[in-house]
Amino acid sequence: MKIGYIRVSTQEQNTIRQEVLMAQLGVDQVYIDKASGKNTSRPELQNLLAFVRKGDTVIVESISRFARNTRDLLDLVERLTAKGVEFVSQKEAIDTTTPTGKFMLTIFGAVAELERAYILQRQREGIAVAKAQGKYSGRKPITNPDFDRVVRQWQAGECTASEAWKTLGMSKATFYRKLKK
């Protein structure tokens, strides 16, 4: 069975280009994540890994859609290999059924990781320049006019901490960080 994996980094990005490719390749089933590739904690990737069986082939448009660092890439491919599943990256023409394909996978994985590191470095440099020019002050703090009222309710035992941060539209970490201030 041919199984496709598609990933874009954000909900706003479009998957159509990758979906068309999967249709052209005759993929039987497709898993789509709209999440960062910085790690492997992606729901559809995990579903794919749980679903694949011996003899299946996982196809991706490019390595960067599957993993953003060499360690994750090699770990994912090793997990597939252990299940008897082949891995094919269309853009880089990598097929892990051959020794050359495995070697090229390692090289391209390292290149993808380097590319990601360069992107982050350029982003940090750009932010530093913008800060020096007074054009960037960082992320806006999360504020809620009801914070003090909801905290008083929580402290009085009228609601749980979980209910409090959900009411305020905050994460657990943000809620407790704001409590410390």
Q: Which pLDDT belongs to residue 66?
A: 92
Q: How confident is the model at residue 101 (pLDDT cuts 50, 70, 90)?
A: confident
pLDDT band at 160 (very low <50, low <70, confident <90, very high): very high
Q: Are 62 and 92 spatial neighbours (Cβ–Cβ below 8 Å)? A: yes
Half-sphere exposure of 7 (CA within 13 A, CB side): 24
Confidence of residue 114 (pLDDT cuts 50, 70, 90): confident
Mean of pLDDT values over 128-146: 85
Reading across the β-sheet that carries 94-95, which strands appear in turn?
29-34, 2-8, 57-60, 86-89, 94-95
The answer to whether 137 and 162 are in contact (CB under 8 A) is no
What's the pLDDT score for residue 10? 86
Separation between Cα atoms, residue 42 and residue 66, nearest integer Å: 10
3-state secondary structure of 160: coil
pLDDT at 121: 95
Residue 108 pLDDT greater than 90, yes or no: no
Average pLDDT, the chain: 90
What pTM was computed for the model?
A: 0.61
Residue 88 pLDDT greater than 80, yes or no: yes
- Are 112 and 69 a contacting pair, CB within 8 Å? yes
Helices (H) and strands (E) in the chain, counts: 8, 5
Residues noted as catalytic: 9
pLDDT tens string 9-44: 888 899 999 999 999 999 999 999 999 888 889 999
> Span 4-11, mean pLDDT?
93
Most confident listed range (21-35, 73-87, 125-139): 21-35
| pLDDT for 54 beyond 80 | yes
Query: What distance in Å separates the CA atoms of residue 20 and residue 16, rounded to the nearest whole number?
Result: 6
Q: Tell me the CA distances in angstroms from 37 to 40, 45, 65, 104, 166, one per residue in order.
A: 7, 10, 7, 20, 27
Q: pLDDT band for 84, please (50, 70, 90 cuts).
A: very high
Parallel, antiparallel, or unpaired for β 2-8 and 57-60?
parallel
Our measurement of the distance from residue 129's CA atom to the centroid of its chain's CA atoms, rounded to an integer in Å, reads 28
DSSP 13: S
